[in-house]
Structure 1
Amino acid sequence: MSARYRTAAVNRDGGDGVSSVIGGLEVAVSSPLAPDFDPAASNPEQLLALAWVTCLNATAQAVVAGERRTAVRVEVELHPSPAGSGYEFLVDAYLSAEGASMDETADILAAAHARCPVSKLVAAASTAHVHPEAYGAG
């Protein structure tokens, strides 16, 4: 099977410095745990949230086929790992659909979550969850 699209990124600085897409976008990064945290820079928490929020809502738009507007909100929290080794992300995605009941919203969310490539990456994680919500709630 051939790839429909391919990209690659590199980071040579760790949590503080620059991450970049090879031949393209450069993103200043700063660890939110660092004493000199730069709030103007990005971090893995934000980048994960952006990746999933974009992918899940684009997929939801494909599911509803232009029949209604959808919105997705993703929240990412960083917590110490209960296993005692490092940290883990707790991630929640919230999808809403304009003019849809909560049951219809849940159906749209289930279909989008099943198709979204980022959802497929996080679906098996016990720390990632999806939730329907009323349109305009987030």
Structure 2
Amino acid sequence: MSARYRTAAVNRDGGDGVSSVIGGLEVPVSSPLARDFDATASNPEQLLALAWVTCLNATAQAVVAGERRTVVRVEVELHPAAAGSGYEFHVDAYLSAEGASIEETAEILTAAHARCPVSKLLAAASTVHVHPEEYRAG
């Protein structure tokens, strides 16, 4: 099967410097663990949150076929790794759907999480969770 879309990114600087999409977007990055952390730059936690929040809500919109508004919020935390060395992400996604009960919202979330490509990458991680919540517009 042929790819529907392809992109590539490169980073030559590590956690502090620039990450870029080849032939396009350049993103200044700064590690939140660095002594000279630049709060105006981005970091992997933010980029992961943006990737999943965008993908999961776009998929939720496909699930509801435009019949209601959905809002997705993703929170990413960096923790020392529970096993081994280094760090791990703890990631939670929250979905709400306008005019839906919490049970209906849970069904939308389950369907969207099963279809979203980023969700598929994250689904097996023990530190990743999804939650339905009451709708709020903002």
| TM-score tier after normalising by the smaller chain length | over 0.9
When the two chains are superposed, the root-mean-square deviation of aligned CA atoms in Å is 1.0
- What one-letter code is carried by the residue in structure 2 that aligns with 1:56? L
Q: Which residue is 1:36 aligned to?
A: 36
Asked whether the 8 Å contact 2:56–2:119 carries over to 1, the reply is: yes
Deviation (angstroms), 1:137? 7.8
Q: Which residue is 1:78 aligned to?
A: 78
Gaps of 5+ in 1: none
- Are positions 1:50 and 2:50 aligned together? yes
- What one-letter code is carried by the residue in structure 2 that aligns with 1:99? G
Q: Percent identity?
A: 88
Deviation (angstroms), 1:82? 1.5
SS at match of 2:76: strand
SS at match of 1:39: coil
Gaps of 5+ in 2: none
- Are positions 1:110 and 2:110 aligned together? yes
- Are positions 1:22 and 2:30 aligned together? no
TM-score (norm 2): 0.98
Q: After the TM superposition, list the runs of 4 or more consecutive aligned residues in structure 1 that deviate by more than 4 angstroms.
A: none
The count of aligned residue pairs is 138
Deviation (angstroms), 1:84? 3.5
CA distance in 1, matches of 2:84, 2:126: 17
- What one-letter code is carried by the residue in structure 1 that aligns with 2:99? G
